Amino acid sequence: MSKVLVLNGSVIPSEKSNSHEMARVFLEEYKKVNPKDEIIELNLNKLVVGTNTLTTETFGTYWSEDEGMKYINQLKEVDKVLVIAPMYNFQVSGMLKNYIDHVALANQTFSYKYATKGESIGLLDKLKIQILATQGAPKGWYPWGDHVAYLKGTWEFMGATVAEPILLAGVKVEPLSTQTPKDIVSTIVLKLIEAAKKF
């Protein structure tokens, strides 16, 4: 039995969210294949780890035992992480960035100790990650704003194995912009189902 952590990095209510619909389809199939796995959901909208931003004022307490270490330890205890990641202003949501800022901590999730040529060693090498991402523009419109590459690279930096990310792009342009989340996600449903079976 595996433990699966679901990170909700969307600010859109679930019934209106394309990324939530992607996650719903993915998890529905995943549970069919892995009925005994434990699913742990984190809504970053409602947690300090999602809403606390690193600033000059918070720097001294940001990586506190109560918050940062709690979620770092959680990552060390789970087997898989499903990341719900819409694009906002060419990047992940502030909440998801705040979460990453809390858990990307030297000597906890990565280390330079015993590394060579300035490279780091990721310490979350037992984790498997699946990224479910959306963006309003078609893929490639903003090559400098590739939030999927940022997420993939960050998790790999911390040692995790990242499955092929699934990006649903162009949701804010026609023809997708006129459709419901269910209809939009139906265009990639087979890809979601296949990924869920392999995760």
Q: What per-residue confidence (pLDDT) applies to 67?
A: 77
Indicate the number of domains in the chain. Answer: 1
Q: What per-residue confidence (pLDDT) applies to 118?
A: 66
Whichever domain contains 97, its CATH number is 3.40.50.360
**Residues in the chain with pLDDT < 70?**
65, 114-118
pLDDT in tens, 62-81: 877 677 889 999 999 999 99
- What would the 3-class secondary structure string for the chain be? CCEEEEEECCCCCHHHCHHHHHHHHHHHHHHHHCCCCEEEEEEHHHCHHHHCCCCCCCCCCCCCCCCHHHHHHHHHHCCEEEEEEECECCECCHHHHHHHHHHCCECCCEECCCCCCCCCEECCCCCEEEEEEEECCCCCCCCCCCHHHHHHHHHHHCCCEECCCEEEECCCCCCHHHCCHHHHHHHHHHHHHHHHHHC
Q: What per-residue confidence (pLDDT) applies to 65?
A: 64
Output the known binding site for FMN: 10, 17-19, 87-90
What range does the domain containing 86 cover? 3-198
**Can you say whether the dihedral through the CA atoms of 155, 156, 160, 161 is positive or negative?**
positive
Q: What per-residue confidence (pLDDT) applies to 115?
A: 65
Pair of tokens at residue 44: 């970053």
pTM: 0.94
Q: What per-residue confidence (pLDDT) applies to 120?
A: 82
Output the known binding site: 10, 17-19, 87-90
Q: What per-residue confidence (pLDDT) applies to 119?
A: 78
